[in-house]
Amino acid sequence: MAVDLSPTPDVAELVERTTTFVRDVVIPLEERHGGVARTEDVRTELQRAAKDAGVFAPHVSHRYGGHGLDMRGRAAVFEAAGYSLFGPLALNIAAPDEGNMHMLEAIATEEQQERYLRPLATGEVRSCFAMTEPAPGAGSDPNALATVAEREEGGWRINGHKWFITGADGAAYAICMARTSGTGGGAGATMFLVDADNPGMRLVRHIDTLDESLYGGHLEVLFEDCRVPDDAVLGEVDEGFRYAQVRLGPARMTHCMRWLGIARRSQDIAVARAAEREAFGSRLGELGMVQQMIADNEIDIAASRGLITQACWELDQGRSAAQSTAMAKTFCAEAIWRVVDRSLQICGSLGVSGDVLLSRFLREVRPFRIYDGPSETHRWSIARRVLRRHDTEARR
């Protein structure tokens, strides 16, 4: 037992297979579609190919057909998959399905797993996670949760307004978060499994967003007297906020892993350009300011990976990892953004054109500084934990 950064042989092998698969199969498709998959055909083709390549569902337990990777294993494989915008969809590790699978494995009953997790794990269906609400509801402050579920004969009735519900269009079901007791900071919330054909759940519109690559879009969704039976409750009543944390910590990290792949891809595109393009009498890559951008990219990527590793290791130890996931998420969201931005800058006019995918990447990674908690909210929580630590130590 000592500090060791080498992956297990299984993971190393899966990373290599994923890398090859992404390069040979996924990227050609991604480039043909400009990075945005809009039809089930594409999804089906990608996932069939991933199954053939033996890289499908790396995070799901063997029982449901996956590779059973822990967070550290995911870190390496998801980054390799994230090297293409289409990689996560191909491996069935895209948001929000990937996080939902993680949560369903952790808290769903046997029956719920068979009915909801199994088809999700195989790629047969998709799902969504209905938590975020427009102002003044639950945005960066989850305590503002305004959607309410009231108990009634044999079940519950949900009313509320959600938005930015990723993947809702085409999802077979939603996991919906609603207040079931109390108010404000002391409220209890509960998660419900709501089938897409429930007449009380209505997709209002696709929200037009800067990013477009998350399959199924970001939707506005209304729950209007939406009735669900008792066995639609996921886990315990009133424990929703706690479960949200179970989902959020790892989900934050898997976002980082996937986008780190895009950062590496951006750097590779920029480096290839810097190596080949001549300007002012030498190749671009020999100009100091370009070298500075390349070096800073390299450092940002390495530092991001280091923070992800730390957080994943803590999660795998069964620790809450609230501080390390918050730090990793905050840093990665900003560092990855910088990497894509610099890479685009290195490529000049070509970089803002559709001839390379960099401007697509720029659009996709920008919201990551907002989704899953804006950087400001994370910084606030990080500082609060530091101060609490100080207070505890000072009191001793």
Site residues for a second copy, 55-84, by CB under 8 A, read 72
Residues in region 139-158 near a second copy by CB under 8 A: 139-141, 144
Name the minimum Å distance from CB 305 to a second copy: 8
For residues 39 and 291, which CB has a smaller minimum distance to a second copy in the complex?
Answer: 291
Determine the interface stretch with a second copy among 45-53, 56-64, 255-263, 378-386 (rule: CB under 8 A).
378-386
Among residues 5, 11, 20, the alpha carbon closest in space to that of 70 is found at: 11
Considering only 232, 290, 339, 365, the residue that binds a second copy (CB under 8 A) is: 290
Both tokens assigned to 390: 């100080």
Distance in angstroms (rounded) separating the CA atoms of residues 138 and 124: 31
Distance in angstroms (rounded) separating the CA atoms of residues 89 and 47: 7
Distance in angstroms (rounded) separating the CA atoms of residues 95 and 106: 17
Name the minimum Å distance from CB 237 to a second copy: 26
Distance in angstroms (rounded) separating the CA atoms of residues 71 and 55: 16
Name the minimum Å distance from CB 31 to a second copy: 13
Determine the interface stretch with a second copy among 23-31, 57-65, 104-112, 371-379 (rule: CB under 8 A).
371-379
Name the minimum Å distance from CB 311 to a second copy: 9
Considering only 89, 171, 228, 271, the residue that binds a second copy (CB under 8 A) is: 271
**277 lies in the binding site for a second copy (CB under 8 A):** yes
Q: Which residues contact 326 (CB under 8 A, 6 or more apart)?
A: 252, 373, 378, 381, 382
Name the minimum Å distance from CB 82 to a second copy: 18
- Can you tell me which residue has the tokens 């996080």? 99
For residues 109 and 310, which CB has a smaller minimum distance to a second copy in the complex?
Answer: 310
Residues in region 165-204 near a second copy by CB under 8 A: none
Both tokens assigned to 275: 């190596």
Name the minimum Å distance from CB 383 to a second copy: 4
**370 lies in the binding site for a second copy (CB under 8 A):** yes
**366 lies in the binding site for a second copy (CB under 8 A):** yes
**350 lies in the binding site for a second copy (CB under 8 A):** yes
Among residues 322, 318, 308, 300, the alpha carbon closest in space to that of 377 is found at: 322
**313 lies in the binding site for a second copy (CB under 8 A):** yes
The answer for 108, left when phi > 0, alpha when psi is -120 to 50, beta otherwise, is beta
**343 lies in the binding site for a second copy (CB under 8 A):** no
The residue type of 70 is D
Considering only 44, 272, 319, 320, the residue that binds a second copy (CB under 8 A) is: 272
Run of H or E residues at 73: helix 71-81
Determine the interface stretch with a second copy among 60-68, 85-93, 98-106, 135-143 (rule: CB under 8 A).
135-143
Pairing of strands 155-166, 148-152: antiparallel
Q: Are 108 and 234 in contact (CB under 8 A)?
A: yes
Run of H or E residues at 386: helix 375-395
**8 lies in the binding site for a second copy (CB under 8 A):** yes
**32 lies in the binding site for a second copy (CB under 8 A):** no
Tell me how far apart the terminal alpha carbons of the chain are, to the nearest angstrom: 32
Name the minimum Å distance from CB 41 to a second copy: 23
Distance in angstroms (rounded) separating the CA atoms of residues 67 and 89: 16
Determine the interface stretch with a second copy among 98-106, 138-146, 192-200, 244-252 (rule: CB under 8 A).
138-146
Cα 309 to chain centroid distance, Å, stands at: 16
Question: Residues in contact with a second copy, total (CB under 8 A)?
Answer: 95
Distance in angstroms (rounded) separating the CA atoms of residues 360 and 355: 10
**387 lies in the binding site for a second copy (CB under 8 A):** yes
Measured CA to CA in angstroms, residue 157 lies from 107, 127, 160 at distances of 22, 21, 10
Name the minimum Å distance from CB 142 to a second copy: 11
| String of contacts with a second copy for each residue 94-133, x by CB under 8 A | --------------------------------------x-
Determine the interface stretch with a second copy among 114-122, 186-194, 257-265, 363-371 (rule: CB under 8 A).
363-371
